[in-house]
A and B are shown apart, each in its own frame.
Chain A
Amino acid sequence: MRNVWIVLRREYLERVRTRWFLFGTLAGPLLLSAVVLLPALVVDSGPRAGDRLAVQDRTGVLLEGVAERLRAGGLEVVPAGTSPEETSRLRGAVTEGRLSGYLVLDEETLRSGRVSWYGEEAPGSLQGLSIRQAVVTTALTLQLRRQGVEPGALLAGGSLETTVLGSAGSDDAEGRFLLGFLGAFVLYMVILLYAVAVMRATLQEKTNRLVEVILSAMEPWHLMLGKILGVGAVGLTQLAVWLVVGGTAAVVGLPSLVERGVVAGDLSGLAGELEPRLGLVFAGLFLAGYVIYSSLYAAVGAMCTTDEEAQQAQLPVMFLILVPMLLIVPVLDQPASAFATGMSLVPFFTPILLWPRVVAGVVPGWQLALAFLLMAGTVLVVAWVAGRIYTVGVLMTGKRPTLSELWRWVREA
């Protein structure tokens, strides 16, 4: 076991010390948050707070609504009269820089939503959009009211009242769907990422020829285990950093995003799902999936001599992990169906397919236990087979073995 630890530590330190690890670990969440936050920031920078604009309302009915909506967007709105003298005064104010510009609303605005802007410069496209929206919404509301329709609910986008017939009903279907899909996707990505890293790590000793020296000092099995655990530890480190950073970002960032209306939907429902039990299941699925697939990938690495060869040889394993991703949509759609249940109990698919079902709340305790039991059994079998392929293959160079040769390795090692 000492050997396993030595290999593990070397593997871990070598990886963690690279610039790529630092970059990936720190920049990953930054990039992700950037993708989420950037639109919010851009919207924020649209109509800059403190921008003053005047509104000349020739219809006499739009001013109040438009001004209110523009103010909600952070603009300072000055009502202005419609006389020619007032107009020239406004022009003067714009050239002197006391106003960013002024809007002119007329009958045409009421009919078609057309509005005129006079300013030193054209408004930014986002600013223009929010101005247009303020005007159009106001005009539309007014027109609908004249027809005797209450437009508030319609303009808010309506709502879908869902009644789930049958047992395990889900109240917040949208949030669960999102969480189920995102979680499965993250599991897929992370398991694949680190399992492939194990394959590369296995190839490393073969390409740098150190494998003989190491194997003259320890069992191949120890080397393999050390590699899998070492790379896994790197993965866990990275996940931990991401969780901390992401969690912080979520706690600090989300409420302000919701406030600004950038993130749609009711997030409190989603947050409610993030209970510790789910976290445990997620970690368990990651670990089991990682061990299963990294063992397979270690065997692939041991069979090959070069990276190029490994790229090809990994295809069957790649396919195995791709299948659950292909099945994810039907499982998300009907998590309680027999199909979804059956597929999520196939140990190679469980790490990815069980998650959306757990999130949907349709996995009874016994199924959860069975799934983990099956995965544990698979871990043992896969590790045993992979270890044997590894033992023989890691010393081989040259031609890749055929399936029958592989089988001979497994029997004879």
Chain B
Amino acid sequence: MRLHGVSKAFGRHTAVDRLDLEIEPGGIYGLLGPNGSGKTTTLRMIMGILRPDGGSAELFGRDPAHVRRREVGYLPEERGLYRRMRVLDVLLFLAEIRGVARRDAEPRARGWLRRLGLEGWWDRRVEDLSKGMQQKVQFVGTVLHEPSLLVLDEPFSGLDPINQDLLEEIVLEFRARGATVLLSTHLMDQAERLCERVCLLSGGKAVLEGDLRSLRVAERTGVVVVDFQGDEGWLSGPEVASVERRGDGLHLMLHPGADAGALLRRAVEAEVELRRFERVEPRLHEIFVRHAGGGSGAVAEGAR
């Protein structure tokens, strides 16, 4: 999947601004960003539902508008189903428009519903279901045709932790089978748990993109947390810029470019009883806040 210099504006508002994005097959890719940062618009362009104003989008090496049906499972941000139809009928319809024959889809749909704890509900009308149940039904509709690319827009919002775990498990299963998963979220814990690569969107632009591990390394702030017993003299070495006492130990702020290894050697030489020496990697949340301009209520809320 490839986006090249893609832009999309609604009226005077630029939702996505010359975005480049490339996603290799396999793995879970996270599209992160505060509300209104262009995640949904980006996904819609990838799905070929919206046409970019400028630039080009490619899905499986083709124009997304012509990639349809079986390969892709799409769960949009705005959820909904035909309220007056029976659960099973809705699922069969969703499978059918993806090119799965009804008789193949039916046992599969029953299997999924059973797994998600909706056994016995398939003859009921959608409107009889709770919101959470409807959301699970729609998720089933997204994966029923076993797509090789799952595009999930905020897949876990509004679900309780148990069901979130259940869906996470299914997403991980799809990855294990070699499918590609592209999901957008503002829940940083989730992104940290699931994604191998992330792209951080802000104001329609990618402010950060790459492998989650190397991102964290690159974004290290130079904080070392230590806990020890003994003389504190070694702390006044040239590497340390400041010391802050916290509940879990001392937080040392190193000078930029300082060698944490040298500091560790100094501690060993000082023969203190070292219980903890940890180079702290920033949490995604912190990176996110730092790059997305922080302060935004949506971010704080999403990351809680």
CA distance A216 to B44 in the complex (A): 9
- Asked if A78 is an interface residue, CB under 8 A from chain B, the answer is no
Chain B hits for A214, CB < 8 A: 97
Contact present for A216 and B79 (CB under 8 Å): no
CB proximity to A under 8 Å, residues B88-122: 89, 93-94, 96-99
What 0/1 readout, one digit per residue, does chain B (72-83) give for beta carbons within 8 Å of chain A? 101110111111
- Asked if B69 is an interface residue, CB under 8 A from chain A, the answer is yes
- Asked if B249 is an interface residue, CB under 8 A from chain A, the answer is no
- Asked if A213 is an interface residue, CB under 8 A from chain B, the answer is yes
- Asked if B294 is an interface residue, CB under 8 A from chain A, the answer is no
Stretch at the interface among B47-55, B189-197, B222-230: B47-55
Contact present for B82 and A218 (CB under 8 Å): no
Contact present for B85 and A217 (CB under 8 Å): no
CA distance A217 to B93 in the complex (A): 11
Chain A hits for B44, CB < 8 A: 212, 395
- Asked if B4 is an interface residue, CB under 8 A from chain A, the answer is no
- Asked if B290 is an interface residue, CB under 8 A from chain A, the answer is no
Contact present for A204 and B49 (CB under 8 Å): no
Contact present for B84 and A6 (CB under 8 Å): no
Contact present for B97 and A210 (CB under 8 Å): no
Chain A hits for B99, CB < 8 A: 2
- Asked if A14 is an interface residue, CB under 8 A from chain B, the answer is yes
Contact present for A213 and B68 (CB under 8 Å): no
Q: Which of B47, B76, B98 contacts A209 (CB 8 A)?
A: B76
What 0/1 readout, one digit per residue, does chain A (1-43) give for beta carbons within 8 Å of chain B? 0110011001001100010000000000000000000000000
- Asked if B204 is an interface residue, CB under 8 A from chain A, the answer is no
- Asked if B141 is an interface residue, CB under 8 A from chain A, the answer is yes
CA distance A395 to B75 in the complex (A): 15
Interface residues on B, range: 20 to 34
Contact present for B84 and A210 (CB under 8 Å): no
The smallest beta-carbon distance between A90 and chain B, in angstroms, is 68
Nearest opposing residue in chain A for B138, CB measure: A213
Contact present for A210 and B68 (CB under 8 Å): no
Q: Which of B82, B94, B98 contacts A204 (CB 8 A)?
A: B82
Q: Which of A13, A18, A210, A215 contacts B81 (CB 8 A)?
A: A210
CA distance A217 to B80 in the complex (A): 16
CA distance A212 to B141 in the complex (A): 13
What 0/1 readout, one digit per residue, does chain A (180-193) give for beta carbons within 8 Å of chain B? 00000000000000
Contact present for B49 and A395 (CB under 8 Å): yes
Contact present for A213 and B76 (CB under 8 Å): yes
- Asked if A208 is an interface residue, CB under 8 A from chain B, the answer is yes
Contact present for A210 and B48 (CB under 8 Å): no
CA distance A216 to B68 in the complex (A): 7
Contact present for B74 and A212 (CB under 8 Å): yes
Contact present for B82 and A213 (CB under 8 Å): no
Chain B hits for A2, CB < 8 A: 99
CA distance A216 to B78 in the complex (A): 14
Contact present for B78 and A209 (CB under 8 Å): yes
Contact present for A10 and B68 (CB under 8 Å): no
What 0/1 readout, one digit per residue, does chain A (77-111) give for beta carbons within 8 Å of chain B? 00000000000000000000000000000000000
The A-B contact count (CB < 8 A) is 58
Given A209-B80, A212-B78, A395-B50, A6:B96 Cβ within 8 A: yes
The smallest beta-carbon distance between A218 and chain B, in angstroms, is 6
Contact present for A208 and B74 (CB under 8 Å): no
Nearest opposing residue in chain B for A405, CB measure: B11
Number of interface residues of A (CB under 8 A): 21
The smallest beta-carbon distance between A133 and chain B, in angstroms, is 55
Chain A hits for B85, CB < 8 A: 10, 14
CA distance A395 to B40 in the complex (A): 13
Contact present for A217 and B82 (CB under 8 Å): no
CA distance A243 to B99 in the complex (A): 38
Chain A hits for B79, CB < 8 A: 209
Nearest opposing residue in chain B for A220, CB measure: B49
The smallest beta-carbon distance between B284 and chain A, in angstroms, is 28
CA distance A3 to B69 in the complex (A): 10
CA distance A204 to B68 in the complex (A): 22
Contact present for A216 and B72 (CB under 8 Å): yes
Contact present for A213 and B83 (CB under 8 Å): no
Chain A hits for B69, CB < 8 A: 217
Contact present for B96 and A215 (CB under 8 Å): no
What 0/1 readout, one digit per residue, does chain A (207-230) give for beta carbons within 8 Å of chain B? 111101111111000000000000
Chain A hits for B78, CB < 8 A: 209, 212
The smallest beta-carbon distance between A8 and chain B, in angstroms, is 12
Nearest opposing residue in chain B for A398, CB measure: B10
Nearest opposing residue in chain B for A18, CB measure: B84
The smallest beta-carbon distance between B294 and chain A, in angstroms, is 29
Chain A hits for B48, CB < 8 A: 216
Contact present for B141 and A213 (CB under 8 Å): yes
Contact present for B98 and A217 (CB under 8 Å): yes
Nearest opposing residue in chain B for A10, CB measure: B93
Contact present for A14 and B84 (CB under 8 Å): yes
CA distance A265 to B80 in the complex (A): 57
Chain B hits for A395, CB < 8 A: 44, 49-50
CA distance A344 to B96 in the complex (A): 43
Contact present for A216 and B49 (CB under 8 Å): yes
CA distance A133 to B185 in the complex (A): 85
A3-B97, A212-B78, A215-B49 are known; give 13 further A-B pairs, CB within 8 A.
Answer: A6-B97, A10-B82, A10-B89, A14-B82, A14-B85, A204-B82, A209-B78, A209-B79, A210-B80, A212-B76, A213-B141, A217-B68, A395-B49
- 27 pairs, CB–CB < 8 Å, chain A vs chain B: A3-B97, A6-B93, A6-B97, A10-B82, A10-B85, A10-B89, A10-B93, A14-B85, A208-B82, A209-B76, A209-B78, A210-B80, A210-B81, A210-B82, A212-B44, A212-B47, A212-B49, A212-B78, A213-B74, A213-B75, A213-B138, A213-B142, A215-B49, A216-B48, A216-B72, A217-B68, A395-B50
Seen from chain A, the residues whose Cβ lies within 8 Å of a Cβ on chain B are: 2-3, 6-7, 10, 13-14, 18, 204, 207-210, 212-218, 395
Nearest 10 pairs of A and B residues by beta carbon: A209-B80, A208-B80, A209-B78, A212-B76, A217-B97, A216-B74, A216-B47, A6-B96, A215-B49, A10-B93
